[in-house]
Amino acid sequence: MKLLRKTFFRLTLILPLLSLTLVSSAQSDPTGKSAATRTYAITNASIVQSPGNVVEGGTIVIKNGLINAVGTNVNVPDDAQVLDGTGMYVYAGFIDGMSNTAAKRPKAMERPSNLFTPDPPNDYAGITPEHHVVSQIDIGSSSIDGMRKAGFTISHTVPYGRMLPGSGALVLLADRDHADEMMLQENVSMFTQFVGAPGSYPGNVLGIMAKWRDLYRNAVNAKQHHEMYTEDPSGLERPSQDRVLEAYFPVVAGTKPVFYNSSTLLLAQRAMRLQKDLGFAKLAVANLKEAWDLIDDFQNNNAMLFMSMDLPDEPKDGKDDDKSDEVKRLEERRMEFYKKYVEQYAALQSAGIKFGFSTMGTRANKVKTNVMTMIENGLSEDAALAALTTNPAELLGIDKVAGTLDAGKLANVVVSTGPFFEKKSQVKYVFVDGDKYEYEVKESKKKDDSAEEAAPAASAEGGDALVGTWTYSLNTPQGEQGGKMIIKKNGDSYEGTLTSDDGSPDNDMRNVSFRDGTLAFDFSIDAGGQALDIVVTGKVEGKEYDATATVNFGGQEFAMEWTASKDDGK
């Protein structure tokens, strides 16, 4: 595992740069560039124009990238490609409030040999608010189609980086020849996070807050100087040009929001404290995972809220008689935390707090499952749909062109085989800016399917199919790591070994557990003389294992995608 060890050795130097890479494998039709027509009519469908507003047996016409008409008495243009929507549901395209979708992580800046740690260069410190995410857009990123298949048509994409990576943009999740063609709106936000520079100032949260205050206050003074000089330069020293401070000018003027990546309760409180102390007008707390104790704060603060779509796995119930009392209490506490986590979305709805979603750190194939979990724990379907459509459109200032299915708006449309929030429904079509993408709809297995077909899943649940050799792939920021996962059964317990394709030493799989289809284990690697524990947890379905590998370093948790397939005959 040379690549993995190298990755985590570099982690000790570039800790904040490790994050989950979204990977998905959607199949789409050609992009609409070769389409014979850009006029479409979806007929006889249930059209959800907005949350709670459904047109039954309706028709929606798409023409030249816009919604042309919606209703039950609509004329279908002669040149339209007609799609029979019988039994289907049509929704406005989903809007991602904040993510790295379509962005490519840039190469980390090497530590300067003559680094003066109290005052490092801005590039090394991650203070680059003058940068724009457009320069990081990868038109071939698999995350584009992955999120599109999940129903997203617009992403508020922010750049990778440290403290102040740069400005975010509203990106159309369409297949285009150039990043500029994907831009709905550039320079829409100042993205910032509590990620410091390794081994230099500002290297921790308190240092980052102090630096943020200094930058903002200096920007206020610089802006005033620029305005005075522009009005009457006589007798005034010419203002110096400072791209970092000038990037703050729209924030100071109240025309540009600050989007804080604040996953925890404490980070959200610190972001709101900065706004209160400095007085900038627009703040968005985004990617928040712990809102349950912040309801009063959001009711008394004008901060925008974008909740994380990433949910923890449901823990064991702790009622197994064979477990010790201590283990039972631990699992009960985990369940209490889990319930608090998944019920907070309904609590925000009950408190009247408007929120959107952020998919940062969320795999595309988990989006629907996670939203349905929120609904099962009290969030209404209308509120869930609003968080995917109308709320982010309003919060991001694009409600005049997106968020609902009204004539004149962008033709960003999702068509599912049934109500989206039903487990069995699947996304059939997605329109982005009027271009059609068609996805394969898999037929669900009937209850009377042969025992032979059902055997792999059944045996996986029972554990028999776990034993054997699996080929795994781990996606790290430095590249893909592959090898074999060899699992054996010793009595009632499992044990295993991880090999690596690069020929590095094997690793023991520790604490291997398999219950109710969930396989979990951990292993340790040596990262430059420091032992790092990596925990892998995910679901086994037949011969496929879809999991997340996490590592905790410096009080922060980082995640990567781990997938495996069982080798035939082993």
With contact defined as beta carbons under 8 Å apart, do 111 and 412 qualify? no
What pTM, to 2 d.p., does this model score?
A: 0.75
pLDDT at 465: 79
Please state, in angstroms and rounded to a whole number, the distance separating the CA atoms of residues 143 and 132: 19
The DSSP element (H or E) to which 288 belongs, if any, is strand 283-288
Residue ranges matching CATH 2.40.128.120 in the chain: 2-23+451-566
- Residue at 505: amino acid letter: P
Tokens linked to 544: 């496929």
CATH of 205-396, one of 3.90.550.10, 3.30.420.270, 3.30.1280.10, 3.20.20.140: 3.20.20.140
Fold classified for 2-23+451-566: Lipocalin (2.40.128)
CA–CA dist 42, 416 (Å, integer): 12
> Torsion-angle region of residue 356: left (phi > 0), alpha (psi -120 to 50) or beta?
beta
CB 62 within 8 A of CB 409: no
Q: Are 473 and 557 in contact (CB under 8 A)?
A: no
| Helices 325-350/367-376 angle, 10° precision | 90
Q: CA–CA distance from 147 to each of 225, 359, 368, 544 (Å)?
A: 45, 9, 11, 21
Q: Name the nearest CA neighbour of 370 among 331, 348, 344, 402.
A: 344
The residue among 279, 289, 288 whose CA lies nearest residue 259 is 288
Give the pLDDT score at 477: 61
Q: Nearest to residue 192, comparing CAs of 246, 268, 261? A: 261
Query: Amino acid identity of 22?
Result: L
Buried b (16+ CB within 10 A) or exposed e, 343-358: bbbbbbbeeebbbbbb
Kindly list the averaged pLDDT for each block of 10 residues, start to end, along the chain of length 570. Answer: 55 40 35 66 97 96 96 93 96 97 87 88 93 95 93 97 96 96 97 89 91 96 94 92 96 96 94 94 96 94 94 74 73 89 97 96 91 97 98 97 97 97 95 95 60 41 72 76 88 85 78 85 72 85 88 70 80
Tokens of 395: 């919060």
Compute the distance between CA of residue 116 and CA of residue 406 in angstroms, rounded to an integer.
56
**CA angle at residue 537 from 531 to 542, to 5 degrees?**
135
CATH 3.20.20.140 residue spans of the chain: 205-396
pLDDT, residue 149, reads 95
Cα distances (angstroms) measured from residue 5 to each of 159, 495, 500, 505: 26, 22, 11, 11
